[in-house]
Chain A
Amino acid sequence: MKGCLAVYHREVLILRKKLVKQVASMAVAPLLYVLAFGLGMGRHVEIQGRSYLEFLIPGLVAMSSMTQAFAIASEINIARFYWRIFEEFQAAPIGSMAYVTGEVLAGITRALLSVLVILAIALSFGVVLSYSPAFWLGVVLNSFVFASLAVGMAMLVKSHADQALLTNFIITPMAFLGGTFFPVDQMPSWVQKPLGLLPLTHAAHAVRTAAFEGAPEAFPYVLLASMGVVLFVFALFCVNKAKE
Chain B
Amino acid sequence: MKRKCEDLHPAQWGRNPRNGTGWIAPEMIRIENLTKNYKSVQALKGISLHVAEGELFAYLGPNGSGKTTTIRVLTGLAAPTSGNATLHGFHILRDTLKAKRQCGLVPQAINLDQELTVRENLEIHGRLFQMPRSERKSRIEELLDYIGMKDRKDSPVKHLSGGMRRRVMIARALMHSPRILFLDEPTVGLDPTIRRKIWSLIKRIQQSGATIFLTTHYIEEAEFLAERVAFLDEGRIVAVDSPQALMARLGTWALDEMVDDNMETRYFQSRGEANAYIARQQGSFSLRRVNLEDVFLSLTGKKVLP
Which residues on A are within 8 Å of B, measured CB to CB?
Answer: 2-3, 5-7, 9-10, 13-14, 17-18, 83-85, 87-95, 243-244
Contact = CB atoms under 8 A, between A and B. Distances in A.
Contact of B105 (A18, A91, A244): A91
Interface of B: 38, 72, 75-79, 96-98, 100-101, 103, 105, 107, 109, 111-116, 120, 124-125, 127-130
Given A14-B116, A91-B105, A244 B79 contact: yes
B128 A3 contact: yes
23 contacts: A2-B127, A3-B128, A3-B130, A5-B127, A6-B124, A6-B127, A10-B113, A13-B116, A14-B115, A18-B115, A85-B113, A87-B77, A87-B105, A87-B111, A88-B124, A90-B76, A91-B76, A91-B77, A92-B100, A93-B97, A93-B128, A243-B79, A244-B78
Given A13-B120, A92-B100, A93-B98, A85 B72 contact: no
A88 B112 CA distance: 9
Contacts, number: 75
Nearest to A10: B124
Contact of A85 (B76, B101, B103, B111): B111
A89 B128 contact: yes
Given A9-B124, A88-B111, A91-B77, A244 B130 contact: no
Contacts of B105: 87, 91
A244 B76 CA distance: 9
A103 to B, nearest CB: 13
A135 B120 CA distance: 35
Contacts of B128: 3, 6-7, 88-89, 92-94
B78 A243 contact: yes
Contact of A93 (B78, B113, B114, B129): B129
Contacts of B75: 91
Contacts of A17: 115-116
A6 B115 CA distance: 17
